[in-house]
Structure 1
Amino acid sequence: MKGVVFSEFIEMVEERFSPAIADRMIELAHVPSGGAYTAVGTYSHEEMLALVGTLSTLTGVPVPELVRAYGHHLFQRFTALYPSFFEGVTSAFEFLARIENHVHLEVRKLYPDAELPRFDTPQRDERHMVMLYESRRPFATLALGLIEGCLQHWGEQADVTMTDLSEPGITRVRFDITRRA
């Protein structure tokens, strides 16, 4: 995982909890990097799992809730860090449909060694979208938070359901996103 994902997570922890909690989380997680992340560096996703698990222990907030909240935070940060990804986009559905063939292409230009999840949108109309997520990492709840953050960014109301289609070694989830009338 790219360092920007880690540094933004630590920033969220500092904002939502405190800098002291962030420091304690890093100390107790015993991550190989020592909690020092560069935006262009690459780090094991196991470090993120260790950090989130430790934060859950420290705060009593369940891991899925923390990861989902981080997805919301990360989407907001992406709008500030990568404004060109959002230029000309007028809705959440339009943006979500562009992730695989536009956004991820641009991310690969910035970070050629990035290992990105796959997002397909095989079904889409004005009210409903099916989005398929696939990754070797178990971060479907992060994807859920990013989807919800995207909807929030465009001020759209929708119901999002997740159907787990995972197999050993691969996380697959179907997201059904239905706009509210």
Structure 2
Amino acid sequence: MKGMVFTEFLEMVEDKFSADMVDDIIDDSAPPSGGAYTAVGTYDHNELVGMVVALSQRSGLPVPALVHAFGVHLFGRFHALYPAFFGGITSAVDFLYGIESVIHTEVRKLYPDAQLPSFDCERLPDGLNMLYASPRHFGDLAEGLIAGAVTHFGDPVNVTRVNLPDGAIRFELRNKA
């Protein structure tokens, strides 16, 4: 997993909790990297999982809620750091539809070793179906990113999450009636 995800997670923890909490969860989880991340480095996703579990234990908040909140936060950071990906986009549905074909294509050019989740999208007259699949099983993160996009663009859509037997997740975005 790219280091940018780790650095943004630790920034969120510092912003929402404290710098001491960052130190505590790194100490508690004892990541092999030592908790020193660079945005362009690549790290085992289990280090992030360990820090989220440590944050859950210290904060009393459930892991899924923390990962979802991180997804919302991460969407905001993507918007701030990569405005070119948002040029001409006026809706969450349009943005989300382009994740695989536009954003992930560009990420792979910059970071050929990046191990990205897949988003297979199907446009519908009343919205979008997104099939999320990843060996890292960060569905709560994907759901948070989707929620961040919906909030950012102000789309009047309902999002339904359907956990599939194979571990994939279908997110159904439907225009509100």
TM-score w.r.t. the length of structure 1 is 0.94
User: Residues 103 and 22 (structure 1 numbering): CA distance in 2 closer, same or farther, change over 3 Å?
Assistant: same
For residue 168 of structure 2, the aligned residue among 151, 169, 172 is 172
Match of 1:44 in 2: 44
Deviations 1:109-130 (A, max 9, x none): 22121000000112422x3211
List 4+ stretches of structure 1 deviating above 6 A.
none
1:141-152 mapped onto 2 (5 Å cutoff): 141-152=140-151
Q: What secondary structure, in the 3-state scheme, does the structure 2 residue paired with 1:65 have?
A: helix
Q: What are the ranges of 5 or more consecutive residues in structure 2 without an aligned counterpart?
A: none
TM-score w.r.t. the length of structure 2 is 0.96
Deviations 1:138-172 (A, max 9, x none): 101100000000011101232211111143xxx31
Deviations 1:54-92 (A, max 9, x none): 000000000000000000000000011111111111111
Deviations 1:18-63 (A, max 9, x none): 1111110111111011111001100001111101000000000000
Aligned residue type for 1:60: G
1:122-137 mapped onto 2 (5 Å cutoff): 122-125=122-125, 127-137=126-136
Whole-Å separation in 2 of the counterparts to 1:173 and 1:72 = 18
Match of 1:157 in 2: 156
Q: What secondary structure, in the 3-state scheme, does the structure 1 residue paired with 2:130 have?
A: strand
Q: What secondary structure, in the 3-state scheme, does the structure 2 residue paired with 1:138 have?
A: coil
**C-alpha RMSD over aligned residues:** 1.0
Paired residues in the alignment total: 177
Whole-Å separation in 2 of the counterparts to 1:107 and 1:121 = 18
Whole-Å separation in 1 of the counterparts to 2:36 and 2:72 = 23
1:7-22 mapped onto 2 (5 Å cutoff): 7-22=7-22
Whole-Å separation in 2 of the counterparts to 1:18 and 1:158 = 34
Aligned residue type for 2:131: L
Sequence identity, in percent? 53
Q: What are the ranges of 5 or more consecutive residues in structure 1 without an aligned counterpart?
A: none
Range moving further from structure 2, 86-95 or 116-125: 116-125
Aligned residue type for 2:68: R
Q: What secondary structure, in the 3-state scheme, does the structure 2 residue paired with 1:163 have?
A: strand
Whole-Å separation in 1 of the counterparts to 2:103 and 2:72 = 17
